[in-house]
Amino acid sequence: MEKGWHFPHRRWNPLRRSWVMVSPHRTQRPWQGEVGQKAGPAGAAYDPECYLCPGNRRAGGAKNPGYDGVFSFVNDYSALLPDVPAVTEKPDSPLLAAQPARGICKVLCFHPDHSLTLARMTPAEIRRVVDAWTGEYEELSGLDWIEYVQIFENRGAMMGASNPHPHCQIWSTDFVPDELAAETAAQAEHLARSGRCLLCDTVETERTAGERIIFENEHFVVLVPWWAVWPFEVLLVSRRHCGDLAQLTSAERDGLADALKRLTTRYDNLFETFFPYTMGFHQAPGNGAAHAEWHFHAHFLPPLLRSATVRKFMVGFEMLAMPQRDITPESAAERLRNCSEEHFFPR
């Protein structure tokens, strides 16, 4: 449909059950706003000042082991704690509702080499990370009081990453967070209404259309969704219907590692920079209940808009009314599709 949509319009996001406004003509507007710095490599393979490098002491005082693969630990400055005080007092008004929030927050280092990113790691190295993610998910979701496990990576200073060492965070919560609750409701409604999986139908629709597909392998499809909000937002979806990391076969874990390598390399090559993004896996709540509606997927939400130094800001209308994007998802997919899978900055 891209050929006829070069004018302002809205697109429906069935996974979030919300709209996004698309304004293709705004790509021509002049830019005199903030221009950031082009992101470069982290430098040496070992940084004696890095609190995530092997053998170094972390900011909280603990010392890292001399790890040679992946390494995880409970975050020294966790946003959530497993034990919180019981609350007996009642609010003065129902409009002042609050409740305790419990959880376990962990950090997982991808590699001992401080200078690497997923894009510059080998598929075999990324597969070890996939296995570690799966193990962490199984362990945390197996706790009877944990309702959801969110695995996410903030890559780059532009996305608020406090340390360039290759790592991610894993926050497990005793509640289902809002975004996941919304996706659960949308997928459940689609299943009840049609008898089919929402993301299975989405993948079938996108593969038929073709114009928003970036690439696919035997087990995963990587695409810019019809309803993307961020300029180069990407959805990574398993081809087989499964609900979480633990349900992936060994071959599918290899496929996930391959897809992550190829996508992040294309991102870096788009503007020949170390591309910032927030990435996170969305999977079935880990509360022991059956979730036939859930389909495993990952969201990539990068801020860059025009170049390595000009980003998209979610301000004004986006914060006060609804999301809006300039370039169409189809043109974003075409640009990513045309990027090389050979990294511009090899190891």
* Percent of the chain predicted with pLDDT > 70: 94
Of 87, 113, 110, 82, whose CA–CA distance to 98 is shortest?
Answer: 87
Dump strand ranges (E) for 52-177: 71-74, 103-109, 148-155, 167-173
pLDDT tens, residue by residue, 251-310: 999 999 999 999 999 999 999 999 999 999 999 998 777 899 999 999 999 999 888 888
Query: Following CA atoms 290, 295, 136, 105 in sequence, which dihedral angle do they give, to the nearest 10 degrees?
Result: -90
CA-based nearest residue to 269, from 346, 158, 163, 161: 346
pLDDT at 31 (0 to 100): 46
Label residue 42 by pLDDT band (50, 70, 90): low
With a CB cutoff of 8 Å and minimum separation 6, the contacts of 327 are: 24, 27, 231, 305
Among 178, 179, 197, 175, which residue's Cα sits nearest to residue 187? Answer: 197
Confidence of residue 32 (pLDDT cuts 50, 70, 90): very low
Domain-embedded: residue 328 = yes
Q: What is the pLDDT of residue 38?
A: 61
167 is catalytic: yes
Q: Flag whether pLDDT at 33 surpasses 80.
A: no
Q: Please count the structural domains in the chain.
A: 1
pLDDT band at 160 (very low <50, low <70, confident <90, very high): confident
SS3 94: helix
Residue 35 belongs to a domain: no
Task: DSSP letter for 92, please.
Answer: S
Lowest average pLDDT, out of 114-118, 155-159, 227-231, goes to 155-159
Residues 6+ apart with CB under 8 A from 48: 56
Task: Tell me the average pLDDT across 124-135.
Answer: 98
Average pLDDT over residues 209-231: 97
Burial 323-337 (b: 16+ CB within 10 A, else e): bbbbbbbbbbbebbb
Tell me whether residue 169 is in a domain.
Answer: yes
| Residues 6 or more apart in contact with residue 312 via CB below 8 angstroms | 230, 231, 303, 304, 305, 325, 326
Please tell me the predicted confidence (pLDDT) of residue 162: 83
Does residue 346 sit within a domain? no
* CA distance readout (Å), 204 to 198, 247, 269, 321, 335: 10, 21, 28, 31, 22
Average pLDDT score over residue span 21-44: 66
**How does the average pLDDT of the chain come out, rounded?**
93
CB 202 within 8 A of CB 209: no
3-class state of residue 279 by DSSP: strand
> Does residue 200 lie within any of the structural domains?
yes
Catalytic residue among 111, 167, 219, 297: 167
User: Range of 57's domain?
Assistant: 2-6+44-81+100-337
In the numeric block, the tokens 């003509």 are attached to 25
Residue 226 lies in a domain: yes
Nearest residue to 164 (alpha-carbon basis) of 155, 173, 172: 155
Any domain includes 18: no
- For residues 323 and 315, give the distance between their C-alpha atoms in angstroms, rounded to a whole number: 9
- pLDDT the model gives residue 36: 58
Q: Does residue 64 register a pLDDT over 70?
A: yes
Domain contains 87: no
- Report the CATH number that the domain containing residue 263 is assigned in CATH: 3.30.428.10
